[in-house]
Amino acid sequence: MAKSLKLSFFPLKIITIFNFLFPIIFLFTSIYLPQSEAASNNEINTKNSNGDCCQNEKNSLQILVLFDISQEDFDYFKNQQKRIEKVLRHINLITKESSSNFYGLIAFHRSPVVLNPINSLESSNVDKVIEQIHSLRPRRHLETSPAKALLIGTQLFSENSNNSKNIILLVHNGENTDMVNESIEAITKLSSKNVSVFAIAGESINEKTLLSYTNEEKGRILSGQKSENLFISTLDKAKNKFGEVLLKELNFNVNLNQKINNTSENSHSDFECKNGSEVGVFMILNLEGYRGI
């Protein structure tokens, strides 16, 4: 009888111990495993100091179009729409492989109206923004305020990315009714946010006003056919930081003054990437002579 009681007591003891340990084991696995998985993913997506090749997040280019709709001349208005479309397509063409582009649109006269925020679902679609630009119609207004539009525009740029480049394309001829203090406030805000402003204007412009927005750089003003080459060259230089980042990702040290040896001397040297990964090759083209606008 005592023997049977001992046998029946043994399974109960095991069950009691299991019931005590199960919650502890479950808690451990629910906390440790997700953390180790996240750490593993982070290790894969981050380039370490040993030079391992891995996948890195693209740089972000945020482009905001500020379009002045106060012009009465319909032909001039249509030409402005065509100019800004060609500028946007040029930007999209030369940066689509090196950056993630986001586009926004603000129409303004006396007051600005946000038609497409940079963080909207369609902000990465350049065709959608161009379609919105061509849907704009001129509205006669005695007052027009690019300063107010610039202030609203700077608030739309995201500040959560260190690899972000912010550009404003101001479609405006420089004639406005802003007070001096309003213009100064807008210029100060642009400088503090590190925003580059480029102006798309017609043949007849108020250059002094536009230069105050473009950091006194004439190359940032598109005012006619003669200014096309310089404008495109200046615009491309504003985005050159993406080429520099790509070089850093591949761990190359570039010395422009270094003498290049004969390639035959290095024909048998091998460049290997750790873990057997493939190495991507990219080219940086000088588009200074490009006449696309």
pLDDT band at 75 (very low <50, low <70, confident <90, very high): very high
Strands (E), the chain: 59-68, 99-108, 112-116, 164-171, 195-200, 221-222
- Are residues 59 and 203 in contact, defined by beta-carbon separation less than 8 angstroms? no
C-alpha 204/C-alpha 174 separation (Å) is: 9
Mean pLDDT score, 83-108: 91
pLDDT exceeds 80 at position 79: yes
Q: Let me know how long the chain is.
A: 293
What pTM value is reported for the model?
Answer: 0.63
pLDDT exceeds 60 at position 155: yes
CB-based burial of residue 49 (10 Å sphere; 0-12 exposed, 13-18 middle, 19+ buried)? exposed
Identify the architecture of domain 59-241 in CATH: 3-Layer(aba) Sandwich (3.40)
Q: How far is CA 184 from CA 66, 70, 146, 209, in A?
A: 18, 22, 12, 11
pLDDT band at 203 (very low <50, low <70, confident <90, very high): confident
Q: Could you tell me the sign of the dihedral formed by the alpha carbons of 155, 164, 212, 66, in that order?
A: negative
Q: What's the token pair of residue 244?
A: 């520099």
**Residue-wise burial string across 141-174, b where 16 or more C-beta atoms lie within 10 A, e elsewhere:** beebbbbbbbbbbbebbeeeeeebbbbbbbbbbb
Which residues 6+ apart lie within 8 Å of 263 measured at CB?
none
Query: What are the structural domain ranges in the chain?
Result: 59-241
pLDDT band at 38 (very low <50, low <70, confident <90, very high): very low
Strand order in 59-68's β-sheet?
Answer: 112-116, 99-108, 59-68, 164-171, 195-200, 221-222
Smallest CA-to-CA distance from 104 within 70, 132, 134, 136 is with 132
Q: Scanning the structure block, which residue is given the tokens 């060259």? A: 233
Which residues 6+ apart lie within 8 Å of 10 measured at CB?
none
Angle at 184 between CA 227 and CA 176, to 5 degrees: 60
For the chain, percent of residues with pLDDT exceeding 70? 59
Backbone angles phi, psi at 290, to 5 degrees: -70, 130
C-alpha 225/C-alpha 227 separation (Å) is: 5
Express each pLDDT in 256-284 by its tens digit.
334 434 444 444 444 444 444 444 444 44
